[in-house]
Structure 1
Amino acid sequence: MADLLYPPVIGAARAWFKALDLRFDVRGSEHVPAHGGAVLVSNHISYLDFIFTGLAARPAKRLVRFMAKDSVFRHKVSGPLMRAMKHIPVDRSRGEHAYSHALDALRAGEVIGVFPEATISRSFTLKDFKSGAARLAQEARVPLVPMALWGTQRLWTKGHKRDFGRNHLPITIRVGPPVSPDPDETALSLTDRLRERMHELLETAQRAYPASPGGAADSWWQPAHLGGTAPTPAQARAL
């Protein structure tokens, strides 16, 4: 079935980026395969991360099918859009259905987008990873493509108001070389290897970010280990 809605939605998103005057620094998008199945794996620091994760796949002319919680699909506005763009609903009480759906899509040559932390990281550091992305890549025999986003938390994240003002906000995106599953590797070992690679990408994105907090009141989006006032990972777990 042709993707009639997805391209116009991408066009609308690009127009929105321009209206917000967002500045993008994207490196490594050549690592997204132009053909065949792949699992695109990103950190999760904003409600809008799926938009920017998908942006990294555009140079390869790929449309990413994201796995998202099923409540998004039940919403009267987002639901029809999500279904029309062939995203994958995840009911956490019946996760096997979403897994089977994603596996079929990978075997059909689709790119599946996964946030292995499952929920937004309030500390803006990597949380523990679920092993689903690794298991999908192993069973479908496709690569994992790691990536890291930085700056998206300043637009809209958990516990903070949305900021959609025209403020020249920079967004940094780093995509790493594919991580190929080893036939003799466990899903947990592959997940650890993926997380280590994504940690390196996240640190690279943070170092490359062209902006710093404008004082103590603006340091909420900076992780505690970098001198910001975001919760530590332990504090975030308590929240």
Structure 2
Amino acid sequence: MARRGFWVRIGMGVINSTLTVFSRHTWQGAEHIPAAGGAIVAANHISQVDPMVMARFVYATGRVPRFLTKASVLQVPLMGPALRSTGQIPVHRGSIDAARSVDEAAAALRDGDVVVVYPEGTTTRDPDFWPMHGRTGVARLALATGAPVIPVAQWGAQRLQDPVAHSVRPRPRTPVSVLAGPPMDLSDWRERAAGGEPDRTVLSGLSDAIMYRIRELLTELRDEQPPEQLYAWPPKRPATPDGEGGR
């Protein structure tokens, strides 16, 4: 289980100090983060500032969050070793080690840690910052470990760092809101996956169910009407004459 070590305290000190200056937070639903035991915190991804916001939110509940982090970031001198010492989980995209990150995250959950997952895998490409379809990693984790999935919506971090405009606007006291919902009831999905390796239909369906629940929470935060469907990225390729195409 993750402990509050030296680098965790240092890192959280920097995050808290930075966000205290540049954000004015409104948090709701922190009681849904369990006081002990493994849990998956699944959140929408709207900005490169998101990990700071989510780390602060989770840490304030008394838990030490562990994030899935690009393996290349963990190789950066000084910063990489510091992040590794706090228990961050490397993601090896586009390599034969790609599945290892899911295995390491599953092990962390079984050890009783809180793992923060951005199911979209990247910041949303929706021009209005609504959620996209989720990748299947979050579903694999939930079904493999039985850990509760806590859906979380956040809004406001894109005002500090806009990934669409590629701009940084560190204005003091920028409003940032986080809303966590109760653990999702995944009993039907676990029943469908019982007895074997879940197929693509189950994994994709569960991932999207999680994203739709996050979208409901985001709708409450924004008080705006979302699009009917989750944003698709990358866009589907048009079918070729031989019937091939899709993503």
Aligned twin of 1:71: 72
- Given residue 131 of structure 1, which amino acid in structure 2 is its aligned partner? T
- 2:169 aligned to which of 149, 163, 170: 163
Question: Which residues of 2 match residues 17-166 of structure 1 at below 5 A?
Answer: 17-20=19-22, 22-92=23-93, 93=95, 94-123=97-126, 124-158=129-163, 159-166=165-172
CA–CA separation in structure 2 for the residues paired with 1:192 and 1:233: 11
Give CA-to-partner distance per residue, 1:124-152, whole Å, 9 cap, x none: 11111011112111111110111011010
What is the CA-CA distance between 1:236 and the residue it aligns to? Answer: 8.5
Question: Which residues of 2 match residues 194-213 of structure 1 at below 5 A?
Answer: 194-207=210-223
- Given residue 17 of structure 2, which amino acid in structure 1 is its aligned partner? A
Aligned twin of 2:209: 193
CA–CA separation in structure 2 for the residues paired with 1:234 and 1:198: 16
Secondary structure of the 2:166 match is: coil
Which deviates more from structure 2 when the two are superposed, residues 96-105 or residues 52-61?
Answer: 52-61
CA–CA separation in structure 1 for the residues paired with 2:59 and 2:182: 16
Aligned twin of 2:191: 184
Give CA-to-partner distance per residue, 1:54-104, whole Å, 9 cap, x none: 222134201110001112112224312210111001011222111111111
Answer whether contact 2:160 2:170 (CA < 8 A) is retained. Answer: yes
Secondary structure of the 1:54 match is: helix
Secondary structure of the 2:153 match is: strand
Answer whether contact 1:121 1:236 (CA < 8 A) is retained. Answer: no
User: Is 1:11 equivalent to 2:18 in the alignment?
Assistant: no
- Structure 2 unaligned residues grouped into runs of 5+: 193-201, 237-247
- Given residue 144 of structure 1, which amino acid in structure 2 is its aligned partner? V
Answer whether contact 1:35 1:109 (CA < 8 A) is retained. Answer: yes
- Given residue 108 of structure 1, which amino acid in structure 2 is its aligned partner? D
Identity %: 31
- Given residue 6 of structure 2, which amino acid in structure 1 is its aligned partner? L
CA–CA separation in structure 2 for the residues paired with 1:99 and 1:65: 13
Secondary structure of the 2:183 match is: coil
- Given residue 203 of structure 1, which amino acid in structure 2 is its aligned partner? T
Tell me the TM-score normalised to structure 1 length. Answer: 0.82
Give CA-to-partner distance per residue, 1:171-199, whole Å, 9 cap, x none: 01110111143221333332232122111
Secondary structure of the 2:99 match is: helix
Aligned length: 216
- Given residue 34 of structure 2, which amino acid in structure 1 is its aligned partner? P
Give CA-to-partner distance per residue, 1:41-60, whole Å, 9 cap, x none: 11001001111112221342
Answer whether contact 1:30 1:59 (CA < 8 A) is retained. Answer: no
Answer whether contact 2:44 2:154 (CA < 8 A) is retained. Answer: yes
- Given residue 44 of structure 2, which amino acid in structure 1 is its aligned partner? N
Answer whether contact 2:132 2:211 (CA < 8 A) is retained. Answer: no
The CA RMSD over aligned residues, in Å, is 2.4
Answer whether contact 2:91 2:101 (CA < 8 A) is retained. Answer: yes
Tell me the TM-score normalised to structure 2 length. Answer: 0.80
Answer whether contact 1:134 1:144 (CA < 8 A) is retained. Answer: no
Answer whether contact 1:141 1:181 (CA < 8 A) is retained. Answer: no
What is the CA-CA distance between 1:234 and the residue it aligns to? Answer: 7.2
CA–CA separation in structure 2 for the residues paired with 1:108 and 1:25: 30
